[in-house]
A = this chain, B = another copy of it.
Amino acid sequence: MDYTYSFLFTIRIRYSETDQMGYCYYGNYAQYLEVGRVEAIRNLGVVYKELEKKGILLPVSEFSIRYKSPAFYDDELTIITKIDRITGARIYFSYVITCEDKIIAQAETTLVFLDKLSERPMQCPDFFHEKLKKYAK
């Protein structure tokens, strides 16, 4: 199923997240995307913490990112998180990170719904599809 849902969240770059090049370290973006995802689904009414309590894990299976422009200490980044598609056990997010009017990075991740007990992939739960219903393409 394809969706058109997107959500915007802002994050300020911490001093700890800079490197000696003076840039936001390239490895920190994975954390920002995670925050983007968590807030995007919270806004739909799905609290990731509660998912885990129900025995559903959502690890990342693929991640790719293109860095367009460096970001700096204290910059306020806007993370636009989109849910593009859910097929079986997989959910596909895409992201645009901007700072003021500049594109900082573009990224995609694939996550897998995993049954905590069996450690096996499982279908995306119905209540999750339900929350996204009005954003179906």
Residues of A within 8 A of B (CB): 14-16, 18-23, 25-28, 30-31, 34-35, 38, 47-49, 52, 57, 59-67, 70, 72-74
Contacts and interface: CB of A to CB of B under 8 A. Distances in A.
Contact of A27 (B20, B27, B52): B27
Contact of A16 (B27, B57, B70): B27
A64 B57 CA distance: 22
Copies of chain A in the complex: 4
Contact of A26 (B28, B63, B65): B63
B64 A64 contact: yes
A94 to B, nearest CB: 13
B21 A31 contact: no
A19 B21 contact: no
A80 to B, nearest CB: 18
Contact of A59 (B16, B23, B34, B47): B23
Contacts of A28: 27
A60 B14 contact: no
A65 to B, nearest CB: 5
Given A26-B30, A27-B34, A57-B21, A62 B73 contact: no
